[in-house]
Amino acid sequence: MQSLIFYSRYYLIIILLGMLNNNIHAKTIIGWTEKVQIADTNFFLGAKIDTGADTTSIHAKILAQYNVDNEKWIKFQLDNGEGDNIVFEKKILKYAKIKRKIEGRIERPVILMPICLGSVVRNIEVNLSNRSNFEYPMLIGKNMLRKKFLVDVALKNTIAPNCK
């Protein structure tokens, strides 16, 4: 009876390891910084990968906020820090409430944006923020990474955006 329990546990462990192994190999390994592309544009920017952040953030200069048919819209400009910029107009999905030690609670507009990392394109929620004091204009959060990427903090810029 004991040997049957031992073999049952042994086979269960083998099955679980096989499942884990398949999940790991299906994911792309990326570094702690990567170059990303706003899909459907020729706009590229550097991004820091943050596995602790739930949502992706991008540095944006807000140009205008307005209403169209009782929906809130925003016009904003992205700057990649290399002299390139691009203007977008997007519907605001919601406002993210962010707790900050110094500034207290702030709200950031959240929009849907197609982001290309490697060969993966995802239309994800991105909050628009002031990242002018940061080295990278974009912070990639779990909503972009989930089920597709593993992060190796010893690596940088491992894959180039390759989205058609």
Taken in order of first residue, the domains within the chain and their CATH numbers are 29-151 (2.40.70.10)
Enumerate residues 6+ apart whose C-beta is below 8 A from 79: 59, 61, 85, 137
The reported pTM is 0.80
In this prediction, residue 26 carries a pLDDT of 83
Q: How far apart are CA 148 and CA 37, in angstroms?
A: 17
**Which amino acid appears at position 27 of this protein?**
K
Cα angle: 8, vertex 12, 17; to 5 degrees = 150
Indicate if the pLDDT at residue 16 is higher than 50. Answer: no
Could you report the per-residue pLDDT of 69-108, keeping only the tens digit for each? 999 999 999 999 888 999 999 999 999 988 777 777 889 9
In this prediction, residue 100 carries a pLDDT of 73
In this prediction, residue 117 carries a pLDDT of 96
* Percentage of the chain modeled with pLDDT above 90: 71
Q: Which of 12-21, 63-72, 127-136 has the lowest mean pLDDT?
A: 12-21
pLDDT band at 132 (very low <50, low <70, confident <90, very high): confident
Q: How far apart are CA 1 and CA 141, in angstroms?
A: 49
